[in-house]
Structure 1
Amino acid sequence: MRQYHIGQIVIPYEIDWERDRETISLSMDESMELTVCAPMTATLDDIETVLDDKQSWLMKTFYGLEKQANSPRDKEYMSGEKLVYRGRHYYLDVETGDVPEPQLSFDGDRFILTVHERDKPSDEVSVRRKRQAVEDWYYRQAEDDLPKRVDRYAPKLGAEGVTIAVCDLSRAWGEYEDESIRLHWRLVRAPVRIQDYVAVHELAHAKYDDHSAGFWNAVGSVIPDYEDRREWLRLNGPLLTG
Structure 2
Amino acid sequence: MSERFKRHHHIGQTVVPYTIDWSENRETMELSIDESLEVTVTAPMTATTADVEEVLESRQEWLLEKLYGLKEQEGPPYPKEYMSGEKLQYRGRQYPLEVVEADVSQPELSFDEQKFTLQTHRFEKGGDEVSIRRKRQAVVDWFIEQADQELPERATRFESRLGLEDVPVDVGEIDGRWGEYEDGTVRLNWRLVRAPVRIQDYVLVHELAHSVHDDHSDSFWNTVGALIPDYEERRRWLRVNGNTLSV
Same fold (TM over 0.5): yes
TM-score normalised over the length of structure 1: 0.79
Cα RMSD between the aligned structures? 3.6
Distance (Å, rounded) in 2 between the aligned partners of 1:120 and 1:29: 36
Identify the match of residue 208 of structure 1 among 177, 190, 213: 213
Map residues 34-45 of structure 1 onto 2, 5 A cutoff.
44-45=53-54
Secondary structure of residue in 2 paired with 1:182: strand
Does the alignment pair 1:121 with 2:154? no
Question: Which residue does 1:164 correspond to in 2?
Answer: 169
Deviation of 1:141 after TM superposition, in Å, equals 0.3
- Per-residue CA deviation, residues 134-192 of structure 1 (Å, 9 max, x unaligned), is 00000000011101111111111112121111111112111111221111111100000
Letter of the 2:83 counterpart:
M
Is residue 15 of structure 1 aligned with residue 1 of structure 2?
A: no
Q: Could you say what secondary structure the match of 1:98 adopts?
A: coil
Relative contact order, CA 8 A, sep 6+: which one is greater?
Answer: 1
Query: C-alpha distance in 1, partners of 2:86/2:72?
Result: 22
After alignment, is 176-185 or 100-109 more displaced?
176-185
Task: Give runs of aligned pairs for residues 174-189 of structure 1, distance below 5 A.
Answer: 174-189=179-194
Query: Which residue among 49, 56, 60 is the counterpart of 1:47?
Result: 56
Corresponding residue to 1:229 among 234, 238, 241: 234
Q: Distance in 2 between matches of 1:171 and 1:160?
A: 28
TM-aligned CA distance change 1:135 to 1:41, over 3 Å: closer
Tell whether the 8 Å contact from 2:21 to 2:40 is kept in structure 1 after alignment: no
Q: TM-score, length-normalised on structure 2?
A: 0.77
Aligned residue type for 1:161: D
**CA 1:27 to 1:116, structure 2 compared with 1: closer, same or farther past 3 Å?**
closer
CA–CA distance in structure 1, aligned partners of residues 71 and 133 of structure 2: 25
Query: What residue number does 1:112 align with?
Result: 117
Tell me how far apart the structure 2 counterparts of residues 173 and 109 of structure 1 sit (CA, whole Å).
Answer: 27
Q: Which amino acid aligns with 1:211?
A: H
Tell me the secondary structure at the aligned position of residue 103 of structure 2. Answer: coil
Partner in structure 2 of residue 9 of structure 1: none
User: Cα distance 1:173–1:230, how it changes in 2: closer, same or farther (>3 A)?
Assistant: same
Gaps of 5+ in 1: 4-11
Structure 1 residues 62, 126: closer, same or farther in 2, change over 3 A?
A: farther
Structure 2 counterpart of 1:152, which letter?
Answer: R
Residue deviations 1:75-134 (CA, integer Å, cap 9, x gap)? 000000000000000000000000001000000000000000111111110100000000
